[in-house]
């Protein structure tokens, strides 16, 4: 991914627009990350008004979107959901047809929906608008309970910060886990929140309850190689297994098993990028037990084999030597549902 186009329309939301600029528009070459050719586009260049009473001056029309590797669609006002600018919808259709990445933030998903590229696919938007989208576009499988959804090369995300999670998810696929973590550290945000985490918690736990699980989650991260069970973890938290599982899901937005599985994948990604360890050793250190189980979980989660991932993202001499030793590999990403 080299080129990024962000489309803004009148009534855009400044925060959601800004996070796309932060994720893809900054020059991070001092961190060893090649900058993207990043441009902000509008159907009619000039002053584009935000929903907070100020405007930005957009210099570029939509033409650049037809050559961009990624097209980002920012939110549009509710009154425009049923009358999406056909010029923007055409750009979206063409991007989908040629296999470019498409990413929408919050109600920007209504633009993708109007263009027809979400038909037959799972997608999300802000939970407050999910019922409206499902009613307007019954051909879309709208999931109101997740942060973001990737369907092939189309990513839809929920409101505000979930859009940043979606951007980091895409950057992780394009740049690798370590580079995405560097970007997250620069932003001072968590490097990974799974798309399947809940968008919101109706009744948040008291702070003291949330903090009580921090030592357990830290211990889990330090002991990924162990066969960890809910009973063991609950005992460390001095809770019953049922109470622990309920509080863990409330705090982390995922079951202990799902969260642990994702952390094991992330650890395996780092080892593939930075070490020359063989797959059996990486599987053991990540808690998967065997290379076969590692391959199965890696392919299901990331849509790529561990060997192909290493060939694409190896960033140390040891890891690159392991690539050479493994022979020729074509590191193509497969679609992830």
21 is catalytic: no
Specify the pairing of strand 122-123 against strand 101-104. Answer: unpaired
CB-CB neighbours of 269 under 10 Å: 25
Q: What is the DSSP string of 18-41?
A: HHHHHHHTS--GGGT-PPPEEEEE
Torsional sign, CA 230, 236, 240, 244 = negative
Number of H helices, E strands in the chain: 15, 10
Alpha-carbon span 337 to 153, nearest angstrom: 9
> Which of 60, 72, 63, 65 lies closest to 12, judged by CA?
72
Going along the chain, which residue ranges are E strands?
A: 3-7, 37-41, 46-49, 55-58, 70-73, 101-104, 122-123, 141-142, 148-151, 154-157
Cβ atoms of 88 and 62 closer than 8 Å: yes
Residues contacting 114, CB < 8 A, separation 6+ = 81, 84, 89
Alpha-carbon span 214 to 195, nearest angstrom: 21
Among 21, 106, 167, 315, the one annotated catalytic: 106
Residue with tokens 């033409």: 63
Alpha-carbon span 248 to 242, nearest angstrom: 10
Catalytic machinery residues: 106
């Amino acid at each position: 991914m080299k080129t990024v186009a962000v489309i803004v329309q009148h009534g855009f939301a400044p925060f959601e627009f800004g996070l796309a600029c932060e994720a893809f528009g900054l020059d991070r070459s001092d961190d060893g990350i090649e900058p993207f050719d990043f441009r902000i586009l509008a159907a009619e260049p000039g002053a584009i008004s935000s929903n907070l009473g100020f405007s930005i001056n957009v210099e570029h029309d939509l033409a650049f979107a037809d050559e961009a590797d990624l097209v980002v669609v920012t939110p549009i006002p509710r009154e425009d959901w049923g009358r999406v600018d056909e010029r923007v919808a055409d750009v979206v259709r063409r991007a989908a047809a040629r296999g470019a990445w498409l990413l929408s933030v919050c109600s920007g998903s209504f633009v993708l929906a109007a263009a027809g590229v979400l038909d037959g696919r799972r997608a999300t938007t802000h939970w407050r608008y999910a019922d409206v989208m499902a009613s307007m576009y019954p051909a879309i499988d709208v999931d109101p309970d997740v942060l973001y959804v990737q369907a092939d090369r189309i990513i839809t995300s929920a409101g505000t910060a979930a859009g940043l999670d979606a951007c980091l998810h895409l950057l992780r696929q394009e740049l690798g886990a370590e580079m995405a973590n560097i970007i997250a550290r620069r932003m001072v945000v968590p490097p990974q929140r799974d798309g399947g985490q809940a968008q919101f918690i109706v009744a948040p736990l008291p702070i003291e309850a949330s903090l009580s699980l921090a030592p357990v989650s830290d211990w889990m991260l330090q002991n990924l190689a162990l066969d960890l069970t809910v009973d063991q973890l609950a005992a460390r938290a001095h809770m019953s297994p049922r109470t622990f599982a309920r509080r863990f899901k409330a705090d982390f937005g995922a079951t202990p098993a799902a969260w642990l599985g994702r952390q094991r994948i992330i650890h395996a990604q780092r080892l593939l990028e930075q070490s020359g360890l063989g797959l059996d050793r990486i599987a053991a250190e990540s808690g998967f037990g065997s290379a076969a189980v590692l391959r199965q979980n890696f392919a299901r989660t990331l849509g790529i084999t561990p060997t192909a991932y290493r060939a694409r993202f190896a960033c140390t001499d040891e890891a690159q030597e392991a690539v050479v030793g493994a022979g020729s590999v074509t590191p193509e990403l497969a679609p992830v549902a």
